[in-house]
């Protein structure tokens, strides 16, 4: 329990990280440092996209699997990592 | 259970057994070659036949049926929560969250994910992989691709009876809305079911107009107020002016009184630059130009009659069909008339006689469009009959540049607001031409067939990229021009200024020469008059003219009668010849030539 807290705190402390969200299998944000509505929006939208990306990767090569999905936008970068039904979403503003 | 199909047929129904037997070959048909048929063909040697061993491909285009899409929003409520947890209750959600956090799999997964994610974050912070390397360098000149224009949308008249799009006006701020005036300009062709409405379209939604304007008579012209994007003024077919506020609904807020308005359709109405922003002026083929204050449309504030004799005589007035007003020169304006004359007027003249400053006579037919070049206000473009002409204000005799006579009538034209040397014209065969006079003067730079029916109106949006043109069947097409034709090129203004200078000078020289020749002629004719003494040349009295005309007439009649009599005599002679030769059999061709070289063939 404490390790999880520590890990997440460490992530949030990195340079440029704007927000972190941990989502469970049902799409509910368990832990986030953003406001609830934003977190719910991110969770809902990114879940579908991650599942789609994952199935694409596995369709091409069934032995393969998705590790991280990175979406680089004009304003920041969104990184999504799926594991075991859970999702960790991090929004970072890369340094220029 | 096994499902079994059973086919049964009674032995008795089988029929007779087939008995096969052998038979020698029998010749049924023998078609021998017929060499005479070969004469119908021409022998061709050598023959070139190309063969290719490749797959047959065919190209096929399919256009799906137009489908109407509608955008609407859906309200989502937060979901995913298990049934016993109410998402609105803070306590319950917090409790649920705490419960999940204690879960084994959650802890493991999060630790794993944490390490993966940290790696990525560190990567991002280390190197920016999307760094622009050559940002400071100037963008290389794009390769000269051929100009093109793409149709983005077509806005069709939703009514059954289609009317012509007679005028288009862009929304002044964004160019997201387009106001289109619909009416039927053909005399007495309006049917009873024809709707009177005009529409404002949203550029993104071609399925349904955003707003309807309901005048009492179909609108011929419609303009947005450049100062206030909610108000529009329109001129209708019966001569009235109507004023709309889009915030107040589809009915006109005010309508001018029928007695004080024009007596013919109002062909053009333009907003003026004034402190109040409520002045407009309109022109119509009844020969009047009226100024209005839209707050009080019961009567016009000023009236001008386009009489070239400068007497204000309405009977001799020229019918106005287009107007031109440039906000940088607020006292001057120009009117294009049905008679092919462009009249330049000064609004601030003291007497009505002085209002009309000068006329430019150039076209054979009505001047349908008139616009000053936004970069060179001394030069203006007119369109009428089959040509487009560019004029300079100083040269009144003729235009300085003109296109050659096109195959069909030109109906509207306008300059591009971003490129001084580009202008657009539309024609009655449904073609939109884009002319770039710095590039090519003889032909349009780009010629596009927009639709099969005639195009009647044209309007370029202020950014120079979007062009809307309206057709006879009520379809307004929106096109996007390629960037080559809508971005200012280097040195364009100076080159164009030089071109206009050159042409103006040429015309001036020609004019001067003409004047010289005329002077010489006049002096020569005066000399000859002095030599001949008292003979009146040219100025005969009316009686003498009448007498001369009568003599001419009678002599012509006499010669005609004489000719007819001669013809009759000949025919009589021919008839007697026919009777004489009726005894001869079958084909009898008789040629008889008379003094008048007439040939009669009788068979």
Rounded to two decimals, the ipTM of the complex is 0.80
Residue B38 pLDDT? 81
The partner residue sitting opposite A27, judged by closest CB among B80, B97, B121, is B80
- pLDDT tops 60 at residue A61: yes
Q: Is pLDDT at B534 greater than 80 in this prediction? A: no
Contact A30 B80 (CB under 8 A): no
Residue B284 has pLDDT above 80, yes or no: yes
Q: What DSSP designation does B13 have?
A: G
Cβ neighbours, 10 Å, residue A67:
14
Q: What is the mean pLDDT of chain B?
A: 82
Using the predicted structure, report yes or no on whether residue B232 has a pLDDT greater than 60: yes
Per-residue pLDDT band for A52 (boundaries 50, 70, 90) equals very high
The predicted pLDDT at position B586 comes to 41
Look at residue B601 in the predicted model and tell me its pLDDT: 40
In this prediction, residue A58 has a pLDDT band, given cuts at 50, 70 and 90, of very high
Max Cα separation, chain A? Answer: 39
Q: Does A48 touch chain B (CB under 8 A)?
A: no
Average pLDDT, chain A: 88
Residue of A nearest to B119 (CA): A11
Asked if B481 contacts B464 with a C-beta cutoff of 8 angstroms, the reply is yes
Rounded Cα distance between B276 and B485, Å, is 36
Contacts of B471 (CB under 8 A, 6+ apart): B164, B165, B430, B450, B451, B453, B454, B455, B456, B477
Whether the per-residue pLDDT at B228 is higher than 80: the answer is yes
Quick check: B16 contacting A, CB < 8 Å? Answer: no
Beta strands in B126-272 (DSSP E): 149-155, 164-170, 177-183, 198-202, 211-213, 219-224, 231-236, 241-245, 254-255, 266-271
Closest to A22 (Cα-Cα) out of B87, B91, B103:
B103
Question: CA of B209: how far to CAs of B155, B217, B455, B476, in Å?
Answer: 8, 19, 20, 12
Rounded distance, CA B316 to CA B309, Å? 8
When mean pLDDT is compared over B79-88, B115-124, B135-144, B346-355, the highest value belongs to: B115-124
Q: Are B173 and B203 in contact (CB under 8 A)?
A: no
Q: Which two tokens stand for residue A53?
A: 């990306």
Q: Which residues pair with B271 in a beta bridge?
A: B280
CA A32 to CA A23: how far, in whole Å?
9
CB-nearest to B120 from A22, A79, A85 is: A79
- Partner residues linked to B467 by β-bridges: B460, B479
**Top-confidence range, B292-306, B347-361, B430-444:** B430-444
Does this model's pTM top 0.90? My answer is no
CB pair distance less than 8 Å for A30 and B101: yes
pLDDT digits (tens, 9 = 90+) for B98-123: 888 888 888 888 888 888 888 888 88
Do residue A86 and residue B82 have CB atoms under 8 angstroms apart?
no
CA distance B380 to B389: 8
pLDDT top residue among B534 and B35: B35
Q: Return d(Cα B261, Cα B90) in angstroms, integer.
A: 69
Q: Distance from first CA to last CA of chain A, Å, rounded? A: 35
Residues B389, B515: Cα–Cα separation, whole Å: 23
B 432-451 residues inside an 8 A Cβ radius of A: none
Nearest to B149 by CA among B450, B492, B453: B450
């Amino acid at each position: 329990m404490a390790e999880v807290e520590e890990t997440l705190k460490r992530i949030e402390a990195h340079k440029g990280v704007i927000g972190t969200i941990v989502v469970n299998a049902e799409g509910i944000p368990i832990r986030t440092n953003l406001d609830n509505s934003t977190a719910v929006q991110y969770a809902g939208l990114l879940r579908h996209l991650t599942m789609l990306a994952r199935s694409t990767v596995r369709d091409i090569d069934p032995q393969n699997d998705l590790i991280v999905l990175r979406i680089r936008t004009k304003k920041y970068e969104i990184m999504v990592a799926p594991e075991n039904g859970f999702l960790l979403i991090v929004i970072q503003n890369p340094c220029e | 259970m096994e499902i079994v199909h059973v086919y049964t047929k009674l032995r008795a129904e089988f029929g007779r057994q087939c008995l096969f037997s052998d038979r020698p070959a029998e010749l049924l048909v023998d078609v021998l070659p017929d060499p005479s048929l070969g004469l119908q063909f021409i022998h061709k040697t050598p023959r070139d036949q190309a063969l290719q061993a490749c797959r047959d491909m065919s190209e096929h285009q399919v256009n799906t049926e137009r489908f109407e899409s509608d955008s609407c929003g859906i309200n989502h409520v937060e979901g995913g929560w298990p049934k016993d947890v109410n998402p609105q209750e803070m306590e319950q959600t917090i409790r649920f969250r705490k419960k999940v956090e204690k879960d084994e799999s959650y802890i493991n997964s999060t630790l794993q994910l944490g390490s993966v994610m940290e790696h990525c974050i560190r990567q991002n912070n280390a190197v920016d992989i999307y760094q622009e390397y050559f940002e400071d360098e100037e963008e290389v000149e794009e390769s000269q691709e051929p100009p093109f224009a793409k149709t983005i949308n077509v806005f069709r008249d939703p009514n059954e009876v289609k009317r012509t799009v007679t005028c288009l006006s862009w929304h002044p701020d964004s160019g997201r809305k387009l106001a289109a005036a619909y009416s039927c300009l053909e005399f007495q062709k309006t049917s009873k079911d024809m709707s009177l409405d005009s529409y404002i379209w949203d550029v993104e939604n071609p399925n349904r107009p955003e707003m309807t304007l309901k005048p009492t008579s179909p609108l011929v012209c419609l303009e947005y107020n450049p100062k206030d994007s909610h108000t529009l003024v329109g001129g209708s077919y019966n001569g009235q002016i109507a004023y709309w506020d889009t915030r107040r609904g589809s009915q006109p807020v005010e309508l001018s009184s029928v007695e004080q308005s024009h007596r013919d359709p109002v062909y053009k109405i333009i907003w003026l630059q004034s402190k109040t922003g409520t002045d407009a002026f309109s022109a119509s083929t009844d020969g009047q130009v009226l100024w209005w204050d839209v707050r009080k449309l019961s009567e016009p504030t000023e009236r001008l009659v386009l009489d070239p004799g400068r007497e204000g005589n309405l009977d001799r007035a020229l019918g106005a069909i287009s107007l031109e007003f440039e906000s940088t020169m607020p006292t001057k304006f120009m009117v294009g008339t049905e008679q092919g004359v462009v009249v330049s007027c000064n609004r601030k003249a003291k007497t009505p006689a002085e209002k009309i400053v000068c006329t430019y006579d150039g076209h054979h037919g009505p001047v349908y469009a008139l616009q000053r070049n936004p970069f060179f206000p001394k030069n203006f473009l007119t369109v009428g009959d089959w040509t487009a002409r560019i004029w300079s204000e100083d040269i009144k005799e003729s235009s300085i540049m003109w296109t050659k006579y096109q195959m069909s009538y030109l109906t509207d034209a306008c300059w591009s607001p971003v490129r001084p040397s580009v202008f657009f014209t539309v024609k009655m065969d449904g073609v939109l031409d884009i002319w770039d006079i710095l590039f090519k003067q003889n032909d349009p730079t780009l010629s596009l067939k927009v639709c099969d029916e005639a195009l009647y109106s044209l309007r370029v949006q202020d950014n120079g990229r979007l062009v809307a043109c309206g057709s006879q069947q009520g379809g307004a097409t929106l096109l996007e021009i390629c960037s080559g034709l809508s971005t200012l090129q280097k040195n364009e203004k100076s080159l164009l200024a030089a071109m206009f200078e050159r042409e103006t000078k040429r015309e001036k020289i020609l004019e001067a020469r003409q004047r010289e020749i005329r002077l010489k002629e006049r002096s020569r004719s005066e000399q000859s008059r002095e030599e001949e003494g008292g003979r009146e040349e040219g100025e005969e009295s009316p009686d003498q003219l009448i007498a001369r005309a009568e003599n001419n007439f009678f002599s012509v009649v006499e010669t005609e009668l004489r000719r007819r009599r001669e013809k009759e005599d000949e025919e009589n002679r021919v008839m007697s010849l026919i009777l004489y030769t009726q005894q001869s059999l079958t084909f009898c061709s008789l040629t008889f030539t008379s003094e008048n070289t007439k040939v009669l063939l009788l068979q």
